[in-house]
Amino acid sequence: MLRADDVVVEYRSKSAGPKPPAEQTGVSTEPERIAAERPALAGRGFSLAAPGLHGISLAIPGGAVFGILGPNGSGKTTLLRVLAGILQPAAGRVSLDGVDLRRIPRRAIARRMAVVPQETHLAFDYSVLEIALMGRYPHLGNFGLEGPGDVRVARDALAATGTAHLEARSFSTLSGGEKQRVVIASALAQAAGIMLLDEPTSSLDLGYQMDIGALVRDLNRTRGVTMVIATHDLNFAAGVCDELALLCDGQVMASGPAESVLTREAIAALYRVEADVARHPATGRLMVMPIRKAS
């Protein structure tokens, strides 16, 4: 098992009772709220001047699989970078368990929150195990060398993502799907309670997309990792996420449980596409079937 932070355990307990969606926006900043209802990660009214996010308020409950959906250029990646603390919002704030991100040191954030970027291009040829071990950075000092414990955590993360057999391979020789899983393993080795994934399936074929979807659910269920996924793939989001936020022109259009957010009206507004939203008769999953471009 991963050496789970006590934080991870906290997230699990906190996510016990789902909240009505209307109350979710910005509740994290209310100090009188009891701990059990406090979201793991919340952004309140933050805005970014240049890349265009305006008055975003979001609350991501601990233990959830949370999807951020939106068309190209709607600000998903920027939002994810703000949530990760890589970009500073011009106004407003992002809080992690009620604490302003700006007040948490870089390395302490990394122990609680891991990021899987959309694509990873290496400047040099690292092995798969070396990539996984990079997830241990926030747990070691600048001069710390990975010990057997860290190697165990990294190998465990590779095993959890089905890439243990690749550990001696050079990363650059892997296929797109293998690379994505190794990068997820590296994030997993960070032993953080929250994982932010940016378009994890954008360059993958259907089989790999299913793999990543199953992996995200599996890690969420077995390890209690809170997953935040930015994607433009409606069906992927519908199949994987419990909760969704719709992002349009840098603003949150709607957020809440997937079935209440992902509606014909929302899709028409987001993409100007007429679509059917239905449940698959066998799996019971939400499906989006685009019909025609709305005029």
Which positions touch another protein (CB under 8 A)? 81, 84-86, 106-111, 113-115, 117, 120-127, 129-131, 133-135, 137-138, 140, 142-143, 145-146, 151, 155-156, 158-162, 164-165, 167-168, 175, 177, 190, 196, 207, 210-211, 214-215, 218
CB of 204 to another protein, least distance (A): 12
Cβ closer to another protein: 165 or 279? 165
For residue 80, what is the DSSP state?
H
CB of 209 to another protein, least distance (A): 12
Query: Residue 280 corresponds to which tokens in the numbers above?
Result: 């698959």
Cβ closer to another protein: 182 or 244? 182
CB of 52 to another protein, least distance (A): 15
Cβ closer to another protein: 184 or 266? 184
CB of 12 to another protein, least distance (A): 20
CB of 244 to another protein, least distance (A): 23
Question: Does residue 138 sit in helix, strand or coil?
Answer: helix
Cβ closer to another protein: 220 or 235? 220
CA distance 184 to 255: 26
Cβ closer to another protein: 106 or 293? 106
CA distance 166 to 157: 12
- Within the chain, strands assigned E span 41-48, 53-60, 65-69, 91-96, 99-100, 113-116, 194-198, 226-231, 243-248, 251-257, 273-279, 286-293
Cβ closer to another protein: 33 or 155? 155
The identity of residue 238, as a single letter, is: A
Bridge partner list, 65: 227
Helices within 224-287 (DSSP H only): 234-240, 258-261, 264-271
CB of 134 to another protein, least distance (A): 6
Bridge partner list, 248: 251
Please name which of 56, 50, 24 lies closest in space to residue 37, comparing C-alpha atoms: 24
Return the axis-axis angle of helices 176-188 and 206-223, rounded to nearest 10°. 10
CB of 146 to another protein, least distance (A): 6
Alpha-carbon dihedral 220, 224, 229, 233, rounded to 10 degrees: 20
Cβ closer to another protein: 131 or 246? 131
